[in-house]
Amino acid sequence: MWPAPSGNLVKKDIRAPRHQKDTEGRWRTSRTRGKEAACDAGDRGSLLAGAAILALLAYPAGRRWYLRRGTAALRPRAVATRAGEPITATGIAVPGPDGLVESRLARTDCVWHGHEVLRHYWSLPQNGVERERVCDPIADHASAELFGIVAPGRRAWKGGTVLVDPEGAELSGADMCLQRVVGRPQQGVPAPADDLLPRVKGRISGIFRGETIEFEYREWVIRPGAPIAVHGVVEMRDGRPVIVPPPGGRLRVERGDGDDSEASGPVPKGAGALLLGGGA
């Protein structure tokens, strides 16, 4: 026979909810805990939905920030999104698709060059006014080959380089790499050697008034690695971003190293900043 149940044995009602104290000493049943768990799940769902909405709202702002940063870093893809818009690009000058170019007068490797020839002469006396020394430009030329610009401390991106079209551009602060004065031939005196005249690009033109004193040759360059700032508009050419002049205006290129030495000094007369005639 089975042993008699102990007197201390107490039947438990398995249907009764289990009681448990929480951390604050309050009694909680399993049913209460189930309701609280359901509320917690609902709160988590609300938080996740709110986070998703915030993420959707933040995406456009994040993309704009990324594109601004990419434009400042002169990433071609980021700059390409600015097609048709004005831009100021600050960086380092680098060779264009065809590599370095050679200046015509000084034979210096560079990314851009321009030169002009000035004629110094004595003006004709008029109305009792004594003659004075004046000069006129009689020839000028600027290169039109594309060159690149990259952010400081960076190399060209794998997707290429942001390019600059300098044709007809206004330049300031370019390095003067040559300045030579050649006197006019004198009767009975051997003419000074003038090996620069054949290198002048373009046609010699002007009104030769007065008495010629001498001819002055001047040439400016932008060397690779020079810090520059370019102001223009982004244009897409063959899938590559190129900075070009704005409609009805001129592209502006500034050499931006803050050097006030004579090497970056005077600009051509009649050229605004450095508005030399274009042409390849």
The number of distinct structural domains making up the chain is 2
d(CA 45, CA 37): 12
Looking at the chain, the whole-number percentage of residues with pLDDT higher than 70 is 61
Q: How many CB atoms lie within 10 A of CB 100?
A: 15
Do 88 and 163 lie in one domain? The reply is: yes
Do 77 and 175 lie in one domain? The reply is: yes
Do 51 and 93 lie in one domain? The reply is: no
Do 175 and 49 lie in one domain? The reply is: no
What would the mean pLDDT of 55-61 be, rounded to a whole number?
Answer: 52
Q: Print the domain residue range for 63.
A: 19-67
Do 241 and 176 lie in one domain? The reply is: yes
What does DSSP assign to residue 249? S
Query: Per-residue confidence at 12, pLDDT binned at 50, 70, 90?
Result: low
3-state secondary structure of 160: strand
Do 51 and 140 lie in one domain? The reply is: no
Question: How many CA atoms lie less than 13 Å away from 127 in the CB half-sphere?
Answer: 0
Of 137, 134, 142, nearest to 118 by C-alpha is 137
Instruction: Give CA separation, 25 vs 19, 22, 39, 213, 256, in Å.
Output: 12, 5, 21, 109, 74
Query: Per-residue confidence at 138, pLDDT binned at 50, 70, 90?
Result: very high
**Residue 252 is assigned to a structural domain of this protein:** yes
- pLDDT exceeds cutoff 70 at 114: yes
Do 60 and 122 lie in one domain? The reply is: no
Of 280, 274, 241, 198, nearest to 89 by C-alpha is 241
